[in-house]
Structure 1
C-alpha cells in the first residue's frame, strides 16, 4: 500500500516471500550449525556471550540470509526500477522469514507465544527489512553499490542484534525494556526511510 507510484509485480512479491520463508530459513539453519560449533554459548548468564550470540550469531545470520535473497533475486530485476523497491522486496523477504519462524514457535510454544510474537518479533523483522531495503534500494542506482549494500546489512544487524541482546539478558531485572526502546527507534527511522524514498520516487508526478 505504501508503494504509491509504481507497483511491483505480484508474482515477484510472492516469490520473494516464498524465498524468505524457505531459502532464508535453510541458509540460517546452515549458518547456525557452523556458529554453534565456532561460537558456543557456554554460560547463559554471561553478558558478553549473550552479546556475541545476539549480534554475531542470530542477527548476522538471519539478516545475511535475507540480504542474499534481496541482492541476488530482487536487485537485478528490471522491475526493481526505483530506490523504494529495495524496501518492498526486503520487507517481503523478511515477512516470509518471519512467517516460517513464527510457525516454528507455534509448534514449540503454542499459540500464546505466536500471538505475542505477532506484535513484537514480526513487526521487528519488517522494520529491519525496511532499514536494509532503504540502502539496498539506493545501492542499485549508485556507483557505490557495495558500500550502500553493506550499510543496509549493517543497519539491519545493528537493530536486530540490539533487540535480541536486551531480550537475551533478561536475567537482569528491567533490562528487557531496552529491546522495545531499540525497536521504537528502528520504527521511527523506518518511517523516515519510507517517506524519503516515496518523495524521491522516479514515478512521482
Structure 2
C-alpha cells in the first residue's frame, strides 16, 4: 500500500516542484500553496460524485457528451471557481507568476487524488502512462488557467474580465480536446503525442511569459 501511494503521489509532487523552482525571483508562501493543493484534492470528491450520478442516471445519452464535454467542463469549472472565490483576492496573490503556482497546485491536488483512486482500483500497471498523461495534463491545464488569472489580476477592469474568462475557457477547451483524443479507439496515441507536445510547449510558454511579467513588476516596484 505504501509503495502504491508513493507511486501515485510522486508525479504530482515532481511536477509541482518543477513549476515552483522555476520561480527564482520571489518565494510564494508554502503554507498557502499546500492549502491550495489540499483544496484541489478535496474538490476531487464532489466532482467524481457528480460524474457518477450523471452517468448512473444517464443524464447524457451519448458517451461523447458525458466523457468528453461534461467531464472537461465540470472539472475545469470547479478548479476555476475555487481559484476565483478563494485565491484570486488573497493577499498573497501579489504577482503574475503566483497564478501559475496556484493553478498548478489546485490542479495537481485534484490529479493526485484521482491518481491514487485509480491505481488503488486497477493496480500499478498503468502508473507510468498516467504520470505522463492524466497527471501532467491536469498540471498543464492548471498552469494555463493560473497564467490567465495572473494576467487578470494586474489589468484594468475590462481586460481583467476577459482574462478571467480565458482562465476558464482556455483550459476547458484543452481538456475537452484531450478527452476526445483519449476515448478515440483507433490509433489514439498518434494524436495524443503531438497534442501533449503542444500542451507542454504552450504551457511552458505561458510560464515564461508569467516569469517575464514578474520581473517587470519587480523592476517597477524597485523604481
TM over 0.5: yes
The 1:150/1:38 distance shift into structure 2, 3 A limit, reads farther
Q: Which runs of 5+ in 2 are unaligned?
A: 1-20
The residue number in structure 2 matching 1:17 is 37
Equivalent of residue 74 in structure 1, options 87, 109, 119: 87
The residue number in structure 2 matching 1:46 is none
Say if 2:197 is the partner of 1:177: no
Equivalent pair of 1:162/1:179 in contact (CA under 8 Å): no
Equivalent pair of 1:165/1:179 in contact (CA under 8 Å): no
The residue number in structure 1 matching 2:45 is 26
RMSD: 1.8
- The alpha-carbon deviation at position 108 of structure 1 amounts to 1.4
Equivalent of residue 172 in structure 2, options 157, 161, 176: 157
Show structure 1 runs of 4+ deviating over 4 A: none
Equivalent pair of 1:159/1:183 in contact (CA under 8 Å): no
Say if 2:183 is the partner of 1:168: yes
Deviations 1:167-202 (A, max 9, x none): 1122xx213422232221111111111111111212
Question: TM-score of the superposition, structure 1-length normalised?
Answer: 0.87
Equivalent pair of 1:50/1:169 in contact (CA under 8 Å): no
Equivalent pair of 1:98/1:122 in contact (CA under 8 Å): yes
Corresponding residue SS for 2:25: coil
The residue number in structure 2 matching 1:51 is 64
Q: Which has the higher helix share?
A: 2
Q: Partners of 1:90 and 1:152 in 2: how far apart? A: 10
Deviations 1:7-29 (A, max 9, x none): 1101001000000011x113313
The residue number in structure 2 matching 1:107 is 120
The residue number in structure 2 matching 1:193 is 206
Q: Partners of 2:128 and 2:188 in 1: how far apart? A: 22
Equivalent pair of 1:55/1:157 in contact (CA under 8 Å): no
Deviations 1:113-135 (A, max 9, x none): 23320122111111111111111
- The alpha-carbon deviation at position 147 of structure 1 amounts to 2.3
Equivalent pair of 1:21/1:99 in contact (CA under 8 Å): yes
The residue number in structure 1 matching 2:15 is none
The residue number in structure 2 matching 1:45 is none
